[in-house]
């Protein structure tokens, strides 16, 4: 199975900060990667698919980049509602595998 | 309005079985791939299983292969996860999720249900 290594596991930031989260795949996965946001006590929500495509309804401050083995999720200006845990998910092949998550805290 | 509602969770003893349901509305179940994802208490997300829109392909995580079965009844607008030989490590919130794009095997998951808690304990 493809291993997804996400970093950092947690970070502290302030409103207005630029935040970057990375995900590394154990083998090349082209651009077959999505990013998900999970607020406490809530179900996950898709932010980015195909590494860099913004899901409908997601604010433009979220962006994704990368291809092959290294991927990045960037929040250009952190808002109060963005404090959550973020996960990457590779869908290059089965079994689908998530990264370990990054908790964004104040 | 698209909606997914899981049910069937609860407490069960190790070795026993349980069937989860995911009732959907606002879209046609037969035209979308569907997935189950779980989250152990205080832990990260783990993909469990998926079923293709045409029901031809069913895939499972290694941790559940041979014990869990994914299925659906399009006439009832409901997807299922039959879980047998349950282990304590299967304790988790189980979410169902729909693929974003219809008529293909799509693994971009949105929207999700609110989840149902399964506790496996003696």
Convert the pLDDT of each residue in B59-78 to its tens digit.
999 999 999 999 999 999 99
- pLDDT for residue B105 is more than 90: no
- pLDDT for residue A50 is more than 90: yes
The dihedrals phi and psi of B50, each to the nearest 5 degrees, come to: -145, 155
On chain B, the residues whose CB falls within 8 A of the CB of A100 are 44
Helix (H, G, I), strand (E, B) or coil at B93: strand
Helix (H, G, I), strand (E, B) or coil at B54: coil
Q: Does B52 touch chain A (CB under 8 A)?
A: no
Q: Are strands B68-73 and B78-83 parallel, antiparallel or unpaired?
A: antiparallel
- pLDDT for residue B43 is more than 90: yes
Report chain A's mean pLDDT, rounded to a whole number: 97
**pLDDT confidence of B5, banded at 50, 70, 90?**
very high
Best B37, B39, B94, B108 member to test A by mutation, with max A CBs in 10 Å, is: B108
CB A2 within 8 A of CB A25: yes
pLDDT value of position A35: 98
CB B108 within 8 A of CB B100: yes
Mean pLDDT across B33-43: 97
**pLDDT confidence of B106, banded at 50, 70, 90?**
confident
**pLDDT confidence of B110, banded at 50, 70, 90?**
very high
Mean pLDDT across A6-20: 97
Q: How far apart are CA B19 and CA B4, in angstroms?
A: 16
**pLDDT confidence of A102, banded at 50, 70, 90?**
very high
Q: How far apart are CA A96 and CA A71, in angstroms?
A: 16
Mean pLDDT across A22-37: 97
Report the candidate in B90, B76, B68 with the shortest Cα–Cα distance to residue B28: B76
pLDDT value of position B78: 97
On chain B, the residues whose CB falls within 8 A of the CB of A99 are 44
């Amino acid at each position: 199975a493809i291993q997804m290594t996400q970093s950092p596991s947690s970070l502290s930031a302030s409103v207005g900060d630029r935040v970057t989260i990375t995900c590394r795949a154990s083998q090349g996965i082209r651009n077959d990667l999505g990013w998900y946001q999970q607020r406490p006590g809530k179900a996950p929500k898709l932010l980015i698919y195909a590494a860099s495509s913004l899901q409908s309804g997601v604010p433009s401050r979220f962006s994704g980049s990368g291809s092959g083995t290294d991927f990045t999720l960037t929040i250009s200006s952190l808002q109060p509602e963005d404090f959550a845990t973020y996960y990457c998910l590779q869908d290059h092949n089965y079994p689908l595998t998530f990264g370990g998550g990054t908790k964004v805290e104040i | 309005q698209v909606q997914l509602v899981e049910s069937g969770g609860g407490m069960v003893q190790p070795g026993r079985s349980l069937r989860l349901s995911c009732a959907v509305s606002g879209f046609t179940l037969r035209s979308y791939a569907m997935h189950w994802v779980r989250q152990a208490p205080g832990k990260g997300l783990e993909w469990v299983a998926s079923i293709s829109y045409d029901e031809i392909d069913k895939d499972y995580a290694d941790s559940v292969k041979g014990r869990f079965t994914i299925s659906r009844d399009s006439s009832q607008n409901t997807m299922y996860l039959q879980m047998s030989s349950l282990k304590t490590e299967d304790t988790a919130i189980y979410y169902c999720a729909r693929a974003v794009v219809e008529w293909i095997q799509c693994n971009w998951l949105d929207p999700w249900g609110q989840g149902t808690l399964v506790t496996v304990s003696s």
